Chains A and B, each alone.
Chain A
């Protein structure tokens, strides 16, 4: 299998990345090499093997449904690239 420039563009779009033509070329080559290497996993028969997503049994941490004080708005917005009226500002979502 070989990754085409078109596929690189598609994946970049999914990943919300903008790539230059040179980057597309470079990533196509490197991803091909890495995925070709990853194909060695197909040497193993994994029929019936449970996937491990996590080594520990995980349980969601739930808290009591009680109102608690939160951080002050000015602290939350401290690193905001742009803010207005105590809110993060972004370009209009609806035209």
Chain B
């Protein structure tokens, strides 16, 4: 068993009792990455020297009897669209292939304050656009459960690194499902918090009204620890919510008696793999046995969510990505004829096909004559989708369904068909459009591949989501399954 299989409390005990040092944890992480990453491809940049120095400093601090932070000594990986001062941040794009940020994202500052150690930056679909991690400009990430399959996207590197035991936990970002879907495919725990709970300062924007940072871990308790460390108001982010942050760990009581669960019939209908459906129904029986009650609910606008999402997200992306112009950072085309030529050629050389496709779609949807027909219409349907959740939450404490309609698919299988690829996000996108919190936890396997259970909560009710997820986990133990990766 790897030390990274230990729960955080146990890891901290061992550090406290001098059975283990932070330096050993960091070396373990570096060795594991060096042993496995040529197969997986989860990392884009390593911070070996910095991590070793940080480990020495933390060990010295512990020896001197200093205070221990919430994530003391824990090796972490960070998705490559979250900026880290002095540590290369590319967003999985050639455009930022030489980009060394001059400041830390708010979450990185918070991880430092909690005394976690950053090991490196994790591979991703370019600018977080994709559902398979095949859109990275560098190399695809492979699923540790089956190297011929995708790890999911766009936080595929973040999910695969945890599944492969390369780091203790990672941060990902979720716009339409990019934390939850790869967590489901890789058999780990991925939590997208309520929109606004975690600061987006320093997260390279894809679709600003949807992007949210969250933890990827091996179990729910660790997810609560990381969320505790990164949640909170930030005056540098206009979309940061000023709400009180509860003690998430105290929510992990194991008691779900009387909890009311709604199960959307649209999430278990057409297009859902029969084995995935079966695992979800079995999970509901576990909740029933623990004293929770569930019944079917309808979220009638689910079938419109994917179209709504791709119009809104692409529109916001076309606006956000206008900043990549070759002037202040990133790629610059050689010998430009004039400024427009500089913009045009720099962007064309720097962006990959999926990014160009979404910029084109977004520019089209926002262009004169089409704004009302596409963009405004999608915003109105977003209202209807949000109302579906509001109504369901009048009756239920949680909504539960699958995270993804199928287990991980094979590399290359869907790459030429963007629409089919987009439909993989059918169960995660409505949640993103409504801005509510949701976690994906392992709930068994289908043909040897992990299946994710999605637990969705009311806005800012992360505690109930964590409570239910933790109770399920302690009854089943699916989170302890590991890929047979040598």
Residues of A within 8 A of B361 (CB): 31, 34-35
Interface residues of A in 1-18 (CB under 8 A from B): 3, 7-8, 11-12, 14-18
CB <8 Å contact, A82 and B363: no
The interface size bin for chain A is 35 or more
Instruction: Mark the stretch among B271-279, B382-390, B471-479 that contacts chain A.
Output: B382-390
Given A79-B330, A80-B328: A12 in contact with B380 (beta carbons within 8 A): no
- With known contacts A79-B99, A88-B328, A91-B336, A15–B363 Cβ distance under 8 A: yes
Does A16 lie within 8 Å of B195, measured CB to CB? Answer: no
State in angstroms the CA–CA spacing of A7 and B367 once bound together: 11
Is A17 a contact of B379 with CB atoms below 8 Å? Answer: no
- Please state if A11 and B327 are interface contacts (CB–CB under 8 Å): no
Q: Which A residues lie within 8 Å of B13 (CB)?
A: none
Across the interface, A81 reaches (CB within 8 A) one of B311, B329, B338, B340, namely B329
Select which of B102, B195, B235, B332 is within 8 A of A76 by beta carbon: B102
Q: Are B377 and A52 in contact (CB under 8 A)?
A: no
Q: Given A15, A33, A58, A80, which contacts B239 in the complex, CB threshold below 8 Å?
A: A58
Contact partner, B360, options A17, A49, A56, Cβ 8 Å: A17
In the complex where A78-B100, A79-B330 touch, is A18 in contact with B363 (Cβ < 8 A)?
A: no
Structural contact, A27 and B356, CB atoms closer than 8 A:
yes
- In contact, A31 and B340 (Cβ under 8 angstroms): no
Nearest opposing residue in chain B for A95, CB measure: B338
CB-nearest residue of chain A to B422: A34
- Asked if A46 contacts B384 (CB within 8 A), the reply is yes
Whether A15 touches B339, Cβ cut-off 8 Å, given contacts A55-B434, A79-B98, A79-B328, is: no
Check if A86 is an interface residue, CB within 8 A of chain B.
no
The answer to the question of A68 belonging to the interface, with a C-beta cut-off of 8 Å to chain B, is: no
Report the minimal beta-carbon distance from B436 to chain A, rounded to whole angstroms. 8
Q: Are B384 and A49 in contact (CB under 8 A)?
A: yes
Q: Does A66 contact B (CB under 8 A)?
A: no
Q: Which residues of B sit under 8 angstroms from A50, Cβ to Cβ? A: 380, 383
Of all chain A residues, which has the CB nearest B235?
A: A61
Chain A, Cβ-Cβ closest to B322: A16
Contact of A16 among B308, B325, B337, B381 (CB under 8 A): B325
> In the complex, A35 Cα to B361 Cα: how many Å?
8
Q: In residues 340-356 of chain B, which contact A (Cβ within 8 Å)? A: 340-345, 347-348, 351, 353, 356
List, in ascending order, chain A residues with CB within 8 A of B342's CB.
90-91
B364 interfacial contact with A, CB 8 Å: yes
Contact B360 A52 (CB under 8 A): no
On whether the beta carbons of A55 and B386 are closer than 8 Å, the reply is yes
B325: nearest residue on chain A (CB-CB)? A16
Say yes or no for B378: interface residue by CB 8 A criterion: yes
Q: Which of B326, B374, B382 contacts A38 (CB 8 A)?
A: B374
Contacts of A31 in B (CB 8 A): 357, 360-361, 364
The answer to whether A16 touches B435 (Cβ under 8 A) is no
- A81 with B331: in contact, given A12-B360, A44-B381, A92-B338 (CB under 8 Å)? yes
Smallest CB separation, A24 vs chain B (Å): 10
Most buried by A among B241, B360, B361: B360
> Which of B241, B384, B418 lies in contact with A30, CB distance below 8 A?
B418
Evaluate contact between A38 and B310: CB separation under 8 angstroms. yes
A17 to B356, CA, bound (A): 8
Given contacts A12-B360, A15-B363, contact A61 B238 (CB under 8 A): yes
Q: Is the CB of A56 within 8 A of B337?
A: no
Bound Cα distance A59, B328 (Å)? 29
CB distance B381 to A41 under 8 Å? yes
B404-440 contact mask (Cβ, 8 Å, vs A): 1 or 0: 0000000000000011001000000000001100000
- Other than the known A17-B359, A27-B360, A46-B380, what 18 A-B pairs have Cβ atoms closer than 8 Å? A11-B367, A14-B367, A31-B360, A31-B361, A33-B418, A34-B310, A34-B361, A38-B378, A46-B377, A50-B383, A52-B380, A55-B195, A59-B238, A61-B236, A79-B330, A80-B328, A91-B341, A93-B338
29 A-B contacts, Cβ less than 8 Å apart? A11-B363, A14-B363, A17-B351, A18-B348, A19-B348, A35-B361, A38-B310, A38-B311, A38-B374, A41-B307, A41-B377, A43-B304, A46-B384, A50-B383, A51-B383, A53-B379, A54-B209, A54-B239, A55-B195, A55-B386, A56-B239, A56-B435, A58-B239, A59-B238, A79-B328, A81-B327, A81-B332, A90-B342, A93-B339
